[in-house]
Structure 1
Amino acid sequence: MVPAESIWTWKQADGSTLEVAWQCHSDTGDVRHNSKIPAVVLVHGFGASSNHWRHNLPVLGRQTHTYALDLIGFGDSSQPRALLAGERAAGDRAKSSHALLYSFDLWGQQVADFCNAVVQGPVLLVGNSIGGVVALRAAQLLDDHCKGVVLIDCAQRLMDDKQLATQPAWMAWIRPLLKTLVSQRWLSTALFRNAARPRVIRSVLGQAYPSGKNVDDELVELLYKPTQRPGAAEAFRGFINLFDDHLAPNLLNNLQQPVDLIWGQKDPWEPVTEAQEWAKQFNCIQSLTILTEAGHCPHDENPEEVNKQLENILGKY
């Protein structure tokens, strides 16, 4: 097994660059993929990093080149200042200088460009939580270069404006105030710093991992360490201000590639009933695997079963 870790310099349209941290596991000793089996590209969820695939990378790497990258704003990748949509629309140069609009178009383009520049071959995209939405957007951009998508407890983003009809009536009344509050940098920073503490992280993990399996010091540390970087609060601020962006159902409705779903039945945030509805509704969905004792991150809570499912999917190629 040959692990590789590196930094890819992602050049933007305006000539600026962003640093993307990534890692690869492969039995071949060469990080460039040239197999008929698609390479696996793992996309983490909110607040996580490529290290959240700690139990999957080495196992999948025995079957094919397996990559994981840190989305912009997370892990060891660049963490530029967050630009809000309203600031961009207002053309506020003081606020927009060296700032970035965190969005699924940004992250989807990052993953697509990474696949084209680094992987250089067909890919199977695997995303957890918001990483699932990113993977779907990247699949659209990659077109034929993406052979399939696996969604693991994909985020449904109930705070998006397009979800307002599904929310209680009182939400419409407080929504303007909520948007004003979360746009304040002092508040978003305070909320982030309060959440970015080992004790709080472990408490949240207790909800996300209902079985308690693999909630260890290593996991707490890999989630905590990136929060101590100077720009760590920026992706948080950008994300909680995303009120009008891509939703998974809209992307699934127009996707050409096959999609497989893996879901924790005890996910406290993304109900398995929604995944069951998606499986009935969208023609692109090929299978739904429900893990009875798992929560929001089954790839880390129950990696043996998730790895088995991913290996079975790879076996189709």
Structure 2
Amino acid sequence: MRATTQQSLVPAECFWTWAQDDGSDLSVAWRHAGHHGSPAESSRSLPSVVLVHGFGASSGHWRHALPVLGGCTTTYALDLIGFGASSQPQALLAGESDPTQPPSSSSALRYGFDLWGQQVADFCQQVVQGPVLLVGNSIGGVVALRAAQLLEQRCRGVVLIDCAQRLMDDKQLSTQPAWMAWIRPLLKTLVSQRWLSTALFRNAARPRVIRSVLGQAYPSGANIDDALVDLLYQPTQRPGAAEAFRGFINLFDDHLAPVLLETLQQPVHLIWGERDPWEPVAEARAWAERFSCIQSLLVLPKVGHCPHDEAPEPVNARLLELLVSIGEAKSV
């Protein structure tokens, strides 16, 4: 394999203008490592890797994966709309289509997995311009599955890292306690109020609270440092940061990973933290037995919701193994 220069492994932040059907533009921040625009001979048999972050994070959350994967093939990480340094338009909910009331239809959009899935798919077609391996953490896993549907054969595979199970979706109501059905109408009314969602967001968007949540997400305590807290905190200080939060907590009827997995044609691999406090590994094991597209499950002991940052060495090693296997399959 041709030696990769250290400079090519440094994550570079760029911006892509994502044109919308209504004539408006959204700005998408992204980083890459490797040989963007000039593929190395050693990586031509390999797909590019596109990394999709989870809720409240950004492309910088792949700080331990991006340079390592970039040494093998061109690797990208982007900020989903509403997060990081990407555009943060107002959230448009059902019943808020009246242009005379804020948010107006001209300045707002509906946050959800169709939006983010299309964003990733269009990014792959317009920026990456080649076959891809999609890797998603948490809600980024659902986004990756939706993007894989849209990309079809241009997507060579999907890796789900502690994929979000979205238990608050209406379609999951049968799995919830009976009392949840009684309070659900009130809950929906409350979280749709911008004043409340903004207050909840601002309360959570504090360094002390962020560090506390990281303590739950990273049970081993590894790699919880000031740089990580700042990486998650700084985007919350942008004027529109609360809008993606409002849009997401109002997603009561959207895509679920199991439904997407039922018809997915591409191979899927699972990486899971055994001690994930929010996405039980038991569900990952059930998915692996249920869906034919899932080819492997790697469970990492003593690790939580974000293995790619808490325990990057085994995660990176597994991703490199998958890249090599894809390259060998193409050669055959």
Q: Same fold (TM over 0.5)?
A: yes
Q: Structure 1 residues 31 and 294, CA, compared in 2 at 3 Å: closer, same or farther?
A: farther
- Residue 22 of structure 1 corresponds to 30
Give unmatched runs, 5+ long, in structure 2.
Answer: 1-5, 327-332
TM-score, structure 2 as length reference: 0.93
Match of 1:12 among 16, 20, 24: 20
User: 1:305 maps to which residue?
Assistant: 314
The question of whether the paired residues in 2 share the 8 Å contact of 1:81 and 1:98 is answered with yes
Give distance in 1, aligned partners of 2:200 and 2:158: 33
- In the comparison of the two structures, how many residue pairs are matched? 313
Contact persistence 1:24–1:31 (CA under 8 A): no
**Which residue number in structure 1 is paired with residue 108 of structure 2?**
99
Which residues in structure 2 correspond to 1:1-317 (within 5 Å)? 1=6, 2=8, 3=10, 4-26=12-34, 28=35, 30-31=36-37, 33=39, 35-88=44-97, 91=98, 93-94=100-101, 95=103, 96-317=105-326
Measured after TM superposition, the shift of residue 141 of structure 1 is 0.2
| SS of the residue 2:125 aligns to | helix
Distance apart, 1:33 and its partner CA: 4.8
Residue 85 of structure 1 and its aligned partner are, at CA, apart by 2.6
Change (3 A) 1:310 1:281: same
Q: Over residues 89-110 of structure 1, what are the superposed CA-to-partner deviations in whole Å (9 max), with x where a residue is unaligned?
A: xx55533331010010000000
Distance in 1 between residues matched to 2:13 and 2:227, nearest whole Å: 19
Tell me, which stretches of 5 or more residues in structure 1 are unaligned?
Answer: none
In structure 2, C-alpha distance between the alignment counterparts of 1:141 and 1:198, rounded to whole Å? 37
* Alpha-carbon contact 1:32-1:118 (below 8 Å) kept: no
Partner Cα separation in structure 1 for residue 246 and residue 112 of structure 2: 11
Distance 2:119 2:39 in 1: 18
Residue aligning to 2:330: none
Identify if the C-alpha distance between structure 1 residues 86 and 33 changes in structure 2 by more than 3 Å, giving closer, same or farther: farther
The 1-side partners of 2:79 and 2:38 are apart by: 18
What's the CA shift string for 1:213-271, capped at 9, x where partnerless? 00000000000000000000000000000000000000000100000000000000000
Q: Distance in 2 between matches of 1:246 and 1:194?
A: 28
Residue 315 of structure 1: SS of its match in structure 2? Answer: helix
**Structure 1 counterpart of 2:69, one-letter code:** L
Cα pair 1:268 1:296 within 8 Å, conserved: yes
- Contact 1:32–1:119 (Cα < 8 Å) also in 2: no
In 2 relative to 1, CA 93–145 (structure 1 residues): closer, same or farther, beyond 3 Å?
Answer: farther
Distance in 2, matches of 1:158 and 1:67, equals 29
Q: In structure 1, how many angstroms separate the alpha carbons of the residues matched to 2:65 and 2:302?
A: 18
**CA displacement at 1:20 relative to structure 2:** 0.1
1:189 deviation in Å?
Answer: 0.2
CA distance in 2 between partners of 1:254 and 1:180 (Å):
34
**C-alpha distance in 2 between matches for 1:32 and 1:9:** 21
> One-letter code of the match for 1:203?
S
SS of 1:116's equivalent in the other structure is helix
The one-letter code of the counterpart of 1:303 is P
The structural deviation recorded for 1:17 is 0.2
The TM-score normalised by the length of structure 1 is: 0.97
Shift of 1:293: 1.3
Provide the identity percentage. Answer: 75
Is the CA contact 1:25–1:65 (under 8 Å) kept in the aligned structure 2?
yes
Residue 279 (structure 1) shift: 0.1
Distance 1:32 1:271 in 2: 41
How far does the alpha carbon of each residue in 1:116-158 deviate from its partner, in whole angstroms, 9 at most, with x for none? 0000000000000000000000000000100000000000000
Matches of 2:56 and 2:304 in 1, distance apart? 16
Contact 1:60 1:311 in 2 (8 A): yes
